[in-house]
Amino acid sequence: MIRIGIVLGSTRPGRRGEQVARWVQERAGLRGDAEFQLIDLLAHPLPHLDELPGEYQHEHTRAWAATIASFDGFVVVTPEYNHSAPGVLMNAIDFLREEWRDKAIGFVSYGGVGGARAVEQLRLMCGALEMADVTSQVTLSLLTEFENFAVLRPGEHNVNSLDKMLDQVVAWSTALAPLRAGSPVTVA
């Protein structure tokens, strides 16, 4: 069965990402076409790029690489900080290369404008890593989707967007399996 990691991309105290990631995980858990697991960056403290990609000398890098390698695709939950993605998330992505390749990725973002600017930057990074970013995404505005800017209250339109994005991540993760396995892909 396809395995999808839900990456919680913020470690900041008071982060709203935990409730967003739980919402994604609960909704994804209703599906029967993939296994979903939360990957909290708090559980993977990584220094700032302390070794070369592919030359893993440190245990933290080996553990992070093994975690990412074990998944077929990802959903990233990210806030937008200062018109960008969190540095801890960008660092976690930059730490590896091969472990990300030929995997699908979707985004659930939140912020003043739904976190859309953070996702645009992440799409560029993921493209450079040869990942397949799906077009559907979920953008949660702090103004309309969070009660008192603090408690997530997603609307039905957000549920529909999440379902569509999950459909795409699972489909693309499945379609990219031959590439991850090193098998040649034939086009009819």
Mean pLDDT score across all residues of the chain: 95
Q: What is the largest CA-CA distance in the chain?
A: 53
Give the global pTM: 0.95
HSE-up of residue 67 (Cα within 13 Å, Cβ side) = 22
DSSP H helical ranges for 43-188: 59-69, 87-94, 116-128, 156-175, 177-180
**For residue range 96-139, what is the model confidence (pLDDT) as tens digits?**
999 999 999 999 999 989 999 999 999 999 999 999 999 999 99
pLDDT given at position 54: 81
At residue 15, the pLDDT reads 93
For 3-180, which CATH class? alpha beta
The Cα 100–Cα 121 span in angstroms is 16
Domain borders along the chain are 3-180
pLDDT tens digits along 27-36: 999 999 999 9
CB 4 within 8 A of CB 28: yes
